[in-house]
Amino acid sequence: MARLIFIIFIFLFNCSLFSQEGNYSVPEYEKMRLQIFDNTSLYFYPKLFERYIEGDTSLSVLDFRFLYYGYTFQTSYIPYQTSRYQDKMIAFIKKGTLTSKELNEFIKISELNLKDLPFDIRTLNILAYSYKQKGDMNSFRAAEFKKSGIIKAIQSTGNGTTEKAAFHIIDPVHEYDLLKEYGLEYAGSNDMTTDLCEYIFVQPNDRNIRGFYFNLSRILNAKTERNR
């Protein structure tokens, strides 16, 4: 039996805000592109992605940067892609309590969703929780490691306090995922502060954080590239 009504809200893996003094670096997308398509590179994408799928826990934050942002150069990446399995997943979540059979079915659907969206933070979080409920601790740790690696990769690009230091993301949904990671609640947004950045306001909090900037440039550029 598993209480799944809380899944969407259990981003309870502790982490701290990145230093506001510059402990980050903006992705150099063109240099990254050259490396992920170079079969002599440590970051040659097919091999790196295979390690990610297999749950290789030796992957570093730098590896995750190439994985996460490098995915936008793959034909399988679709900007603003929505999940084919979202409705089915929500139906299970709404049940609140699942039998063992239902939990197994829910895990299978979530795994299928992850094949479509390999860097979907919410699905990784759901799977980690579900695996733990099932007692599959190896799969739990693998999903948690992947989710944590993606979050750290995003955090390594900025601290969100200014447009220059915006968090770089490849999916708009990750804006809300990062807020949850910090224990903050969405309160609204300025659609686009510039052509490339969006500012997300958060609910009042004891850290006096007003909101974060998110850089959407890679999403927008990838969309343009696909339309050529």
- Side chain identity at 27, as an amino acid letter? P
How many other CB atoms are found less than 10 A from the CB of residue 162? 12
Residue 199, beta-bridge partner list: 190, 213
The end-to-end CA distance of the chain, in Å, is 50
User: In angstroms, rounded to a whole number, what is the distance separating the alpha carbons of residues 221 and 184?
Assistant: 29
Counting Cβ atoms within 10 Å, is residue 9 exposed (0-12), middle (13-18) or buried (19+)?
exposed
pLDDT at 139 over 90: yes
User: Any idea which residue has 């570093």 for tokens?
Assistant: 60
- Side chain identity at 129, as an amino acid letter? Y
Q: pTM value?
A: 0.88
Q: How big is the chain, counted in residues?
A: 228
pLDDT at 3 over 80: no
What pLDDT does residue 97 have? 86
User: In angstroms, rounded to a whole number, what is the distance separating the alpha carbons of residues 201 and 186?
Assistant: 6
Mean pLDDT of 11-38: 70
- Side chain identity at 164, as an amino acid letter? K
Query: Which uninterrupted H or E stretch holds 176?
Result: helix 173-181
pLDDT tens digit sequence for 114-125: 999 999 999 999
Mean pLDDT of 200-207: 95
User: In angstroms, rounded to a whole number, what is the distance separating the alpha carbons of residues 59 and 157?
Assistant: 17
3-state secondary structure 102-164: HHHHHHHHHHHHHHHCCCCHHHHHHHHHHHHHHCCHHHHHHHHHHHHHHHHHHHCCCCCCCCC
For the record, the structure tokens of 37 come out as 């398509």
pLDDT tens digit sequence for 58-85: 999 999 999 999 999 999 999 999 889 9
User: In angstroms, rounded to a whole number, what is the distance separating the alpha carbons of residues 126 and 122?
Assistant: 6
The dihedral sign for the CA sequence 191, 16, 157, 42 = negative
In the chain, what is the greatest distance between 2 CA atoms, to the nearest angstrom?
Answer: 50
For the record, the structure tokens of 53 come out as 């799928």
User: In angstroms, rounded to a whole number, what is the distance separating the alpha carbons of residues 47 and 24?
Assistant: 26
Domain residue spans in the chain? 157-228
